[in-house]
Amino acid sequence: MSEETGTPRTVSQTPAALLQRRLERLGLREPADFVVHLPLRYEDETRILPIGALAPGMTAQVQGDVLHSEVQFRPRRQLHAVLSDETGRLQLRWMNFYPSQQKQLAAGKPLRVRGEVRSGFNGLEMVHPKVGSAATPLPDALTPVYPTTDGLSQASLRKAVEQALATADLSDTLPEEVLRKYRLIPFDQAIRVLHHPPARVSYDELIERGHPAWVRIKFDELLAQQLSLAQARAARRAQKARPLVARDELLERLRASLPFRLTQAQERVVAEISADLGRAFPMHRLLQGDVGSGKTVVAAFAAAQAISAGSQVAIMAPTEILAEQHLHKLSAWLEPLGVCVAWLTGGLSGKLRRKAMQDIAEGRAQLIVGTQALIQDKVDFHSLGLVVLDEQHRFGVGQRLQLSRKGEAPAGTLLPHQLNMSATPIPRTLAMTFFADLDVSAIDALPPGRSPIITKLIADSRRAEVLDSVTAEVRQGRQAYWVCPLVEESEALQLQTAVDTHARLAEALPDLRVALIHGKMAPAAKQEVMQAFRDGRIDLLVATTVIEVGVDVPNASLMIIEHAERFGLAQLHQLRGRVGRGSTQSICVLMYQAPLSAIARQRLRAMYETVDGFEIARRDLEQRGPGEFLGVRQSGQALLRFASLDTDERLAAQAREAVALMRKAFPDHAEAHMRRWMRGKEDFLRS
Ligand code: ADP
Ligand code: MG
């Protein structure tokens, strides 16, 4: 049968080609790929249990004679049989069956069945057990169950693995010394045990992955990751960047002109970045800091150092609104000190754009603020020394790659330093294992004088009270955000919802100045609304999630999020972070519609219980798993497949320790080890 119904069978759809395609879908091409395609679990078909030893919940294999079988109609048509051995009787039932199955179950036949035991109406039973002949010899190894894909049976996959193992290179990539030091078993032995566990192997150890074979594999995987990290780090240190050493008093003047003093945490990260910038190889640093912790001013210091050293700086944000806000802030801080700031986004008109491009190319523009346009378009910089990516997790993996590839210039070319900023705190172990080669700085305290945000959970039905609280807040001279419900299904619907919400609120609150902002508005219109809100000419800003990241209006002290149950935890935290930026008490109201799903309840509870970004991130990670958490679901391959950062902390530490020895004393082994484990991942590791 052809795979797509209706398409005639073509040459490429021979069974062999189909099999190959399906294997490729699993990333299985060469023998080496199959070697590390390891079972998810095992089935123990090596033993026959007496029926008398069965208990509900067990998965077991038994053998006996069919006492009788019949098709029953209660309540619906089903095939029923009774199997017996010397120790007892077992009921077998099938809801769907073929006539041939009925024959197989003719009374008096010896049969072997395997399945999950449950307690049924007439004693113990198996529903839809696997049936085989009692004459087949028992296998002497546990039967592996592999991760597979649609249309690929375990049997074909097992056969393919078997064939590949016969020719694959299983030589050890770890030297004796490392094996001995960490008490690891040889690679070929581990691989054979995992694909073919002998019957004597402890089933539990295999499943829990505590067996020495799994330990070896997990160590290998962690080591490969740490090796490639070290390699990327070494490669970066071999690249050249201009050391950015301040040549004038710009930094001191910036410090003196700020309306506030940097916090200790800010001073520390400014110093860390400053030291990196002074080096002759490119910085690659992640600046983490919770929403409102004051990352922008840290970026301003980095920029000032680069500019003082005679270089250009590009600062990029994922949305126009955010980029525009940076333009405001950075211009306000730096222009009075004589820095020339340019603005470049996708929405810029032809003439302005050409002018900006020219200023950038000829070096007049010293600080360039913009959106992704800065990477996507062919912008020709005169002397780019530093790139700052704000809210870097919002840029897709693809864009981050694009940016890092920009650096693939011929050897000896000067590359820019790079500073990534993110409000999504990435747990440290995750950052270390995940990000190829990234140094991390963290701002771990908020600027002084902020009072913590109060979070309230309010059911939709109490909307009138919420409207009253908006009016009350505005009467005190404050401003508020109203975030429209997220409609994931359709952008048009999302837009409509925003427009409707605005209309309803404007009607319900006739004394208030209510405005709307959403992602589909022209950049100029968006800018105008944001400016009006900043200037206090708007009381209530109805918004879609365009305001999610970065927006900073300290006088806004009330945030209402409608249908909060539809948002993710990180997103809610970001949204809430738009208030609590001034010295007054801020409130975030999470409106929800009952009934809540268990997950939504968990999320809202987390929001209610804590305002700490690290704690939120921890719970988010717990709820979503690392892939989705980092927005790299599509690159699942980059995740650890076998080791787990939670349970294999000790192994990870050993792997980190082994890196230096491998690189120094056994470079060929290290090379071979990475070849085995990092197949197809090279790109990801660079981003
Ligand atoms: P985020 O880290 O979320 O990007 P911002 O850089 O937007 O935070 O800073 C949040 C607010 O705090 C801004 O209004 C900023 O001017 C202010 N701010 C930053 N650092 C300090 C400080 N040391 N003291 C007082 N206010 C500060
Ligand atoms: Mg910010």
Q: Pick from 184, 308, 198, 293: which is nearest to 245 by CA?
A: 308
Q: Pick from 301, 396, 285: which is nearest to 339 by CA?
A: 301
Residue nearest to atom 15 of ligand 1 (CA): 294
Does 639 have pLDDT greater than 70? no
Beta carbon of 425 within 6 Å of any ligand 1 atom: no
Picking from 279-293, 543-557, 599-613, which range would have the lowest pLDDT averaged per residue?
543-557
Residue 476 CA, ligand 2 centroid: distance in Å: 27
Residue nearest to atom 23 of ligand 1 (CA): 262
> Quick one: which atom of ligand 1 is closest to the CA of 262?
23
Residue 298 CA, ligand 1 centroid: distance in Å: 9
For residue 254, the tally of other CB atoms under 10 A from its CB is 21
Q: Are 301 and 254 in contact (CB under 8 A)?
A: yes
Residue 293 CA, ligand 1 centroid: distance in Å: 6
Q: Which two tokens stand for residue 492?
A: 């048009």
Residue 389 CA, ligand 2 centroid: distance in Å: 10
Ligand approaching nearest to the C-alpha of 258: 1
Beta carbon of 263 within 6 Å of any ligand 1 atom: yes
What integer is the mean pLDDT of 160-175?
94
Beta carbon of 295 within 6 Å of any ligand 1 atom: yes
The whole-angstrom separation of Cα 597 and Cα 206 is: 35
Q: Look up residue 149 and give its DSSP letter.
A: -
Residue of 254, 260, 328 to mutate, ligand 1, most atoms within 8 A of C-beta: 260
pTM: 0.69
Q: Which two tokens stand for residue 532?
A: 């009006």
The whole-angstrom separation of Cα 254 and Cα 258 is: 6
Residues 6 or more apart whose Cβ sits within 8 Å of residue 619: 569, 602, 606
Beta carbon of 260 within 6 Å of any ligand 1 atom: yes
Measure CA 34 to chain center.
Answer: 26
Residue 109 CA, ligand 2 centroid: distance in Å: 74
Residue 64: which H helix or E strand, with range? Answer: strand 59-73
Q: What size, in residues, is the chain?
A: 687
Q: Are 651 and 643 in contact (CB under 8 A)?
A: yes
The whole-angstrom separation of Cα 542 and Cα 568 is: 20
Query: What is the structure's pLDDT at 6?
Result: 45
> Quick one: which atom of ligand 1 is closest to the CA of 443?
2
Query: What is the structure's pLDDT at 383?
Result: 92
Query: What is the structure's pLDDT at 432?
Result: 53
The whole-angstrom separation of Cα 24 and Cα 28 is: 5
Does 632 have pLDDT greater than 90? no
Residue 268: which H helix or E strand, with range? Answer: helix 264-277
Query: What is the structure's pLDDT at 547?
Result: 73
Query: What is the structure's pLDDT at 681?
Result: 60
Nearest 5°: CA angle at 629, between 627 and 631? 70
Picking from 1-10, 397-406, 644-653, 674-683, which range would have the lowest pLDDT averaged per residue?
1-10
CATH class of the structural domain 454-610: alpha beta
Ligand approaching nearest to the C-alpha of 300: 1
Classified as helix, coil or strand, 133 is: strand
The whole-angstrom separation of Cα 414 and Cα 407 is: 9
What integer is the mean pLDDT of 275-284?
95
Residue 551 CA, ligand 2 centroid: distance in Å: 7
Query: What is the structure's pLDDT at 1?
Result: 38
For residue 500, the tally of other CB atoms under 10 A from its CB is 12
For residue 534, the tally of other CB atoms under 10 A from its CB is 18
Query: What is the structure's pLDDT at 405?
Result: 47
Residue 480 CA, ligand 1 centroid: distance in Å: 19
Ligand approaching nearest to the C-alpha of 296: 1
Beta carbon of 552 within 6 Å of any ligand 1 atom: yes
Q: In whole angstroms, how far apart are CA 637 and each of 22, 173, 401, 632?
A: 17, 21, 16, 9
Beta carbon of 325 within 6 Å of any ligand 1 atom: no
The whole-angstrom separation of Cα 585 and Cα 571 is: 22
Left, alpha or beta for 313 (phi > 0: left; psi -120 to 50: alpha)? beta
Residue 472 CA, ligand 2 centroid: distance in Å: 29
Residue of 255, 269, 293 to mutate, ligand 1, most atoms within 8 A of C-beta: 293
Omega before 75 cis (within 30°)? yes
For residue 377, the tally of other CB atoms under 10 A from its CB is 13
> Quick one: which atom of ligand 1 is closest to the CA of 552?
7
Indicate the pairing of strand 367-370 with strand 514-517: unpaired
What integer is the mean pLDDT of 621-626?
65
Averaged pLDDT score across all residues of the chain: 86
Beta carbon of 262 within 6 Å of any ligand 1 atom: yes
340-357 pLDDT tens trace: 999 998 778 889 989 999
Query: What is the structure's pLDDT at 252?
Result: 96
430-453 pLDDT tens trace: 555 554 567 888 898 888 878 789
Q: Look up residue 365 and give its DSSP letter.
A: -
Residue 552 CA, ligand 1 centroid: distance in Å: 8
Sequence ranges of the chain with CATH classification 2.40.50.140:
47-133
Ligand approaching nearest to the C-alpha of 315: 2
For residue 660, the tally of other CB atoms under 10 A from its CB is 11
The whole-angstrom separation of Cα 222 and Cα 220 is: 6
Beta carbon of 613 within 6 Å of any ligand 1 atom: no
Residue 537 CA, ligand 1 centroid: distance in Å: 22
506-535 pLDDT tens trace: 999 999 999 999 888 888 888 899 899 999
Does 184 have pLDDT greater than 70? yes
> Quick one: which atom of ligand 1 is closest to the CA of 449?
25
> Quick one: which atom of ligand 1 is closest to the CA of 577?
3
- Name the band, by pLDDT with cuts 50, 70 and 90, for residue 673: very high
Q: Which fold has domain 47-133?
A: OB fold (Dihydrolipoamide Acetyltransferase, E2P) (2.40.50)
Residue 200 CA, ligand 2 centroid: distance in Å: 58
Beta carbon of 294 within 6 Å of any ligand 1 atom: yes
Beta carbon of 687 within 6 Å of any ligand 1 atom: no
Does 684 have pLDDT greater than 50? no
Residue 573 CA, ligand 1 centroid: distance in Å: 17
Please indicate whether residue 108 or residue 12 has the higher confidence score (pLDDT): 108
What integer is the mean pLDDT of 572-600?
89
Residue 446 CA, ligand 2 centroid: distance in Å: 13
Residue 447 CA, ligand 1 centroid: distance in Å: 7
Q: Which two tokens stand for residue 260?
A: 């506030």
Residue of 296, 394, 579 to mutate, ligand 1, most atoms within 8 A of C-beta: 296
Beta carbon of 206 within 6 Å of any ligand 1 atom: no
Beta carbon of 626 within 6 Å of any ligand 1 atom: no
Query: What is the structure's pLDDT at 43?
Result: 84
Q: Are 390 and 421 in contact (CB under 8 A)?
A: yes
Query: What is the structure's pLDDT at 372?
Result: 78
Using the CB atoms, write b or e for 17-42: b if 16+ within 10 Å: ebbeebbeebebeebbbbbbbbbeeb
Residue of 262, 324, 330, 552 to mutate, ligand 1, most atoms within 8 A of C-beta: 552
Query: What is the structure's pLDDT at 426?
Result: 63
Q: Pick from 69, 70, 47: which is nearest to 58 by CA?
A: 47
What integer is the mean pLDDT of 542-568?
86
Handedness of CA 63, 67, 71, 72 (dihedral sign): negative
Beta carbon of 326 within 6 Å of any ligand 1 atom: no
Beta carbon of 293 within 6 Å of any ligand 1 atom: yes
Classified as helix, coil or strand, 139 is: coil
455-504 pLDDT tens trace: 999 999 999 999 999 999 999 999 999 999 877 777 788 888 899 999 99
Which CATH architecture fits 250-443? 3-Layer(aba) Sandwich (3.40)
Q: Determine phi and psi for 381, rounding to 5 degrees.
A: -85, 150
Our separate counts of H helices and E strands in the chain read: 26, 23
Sequence ranges of the chain with CATH classification 3.40.50.300:
250-443, 454-610
Beta carbon of 291 within 6 Å of any ligand 1 atom: yes
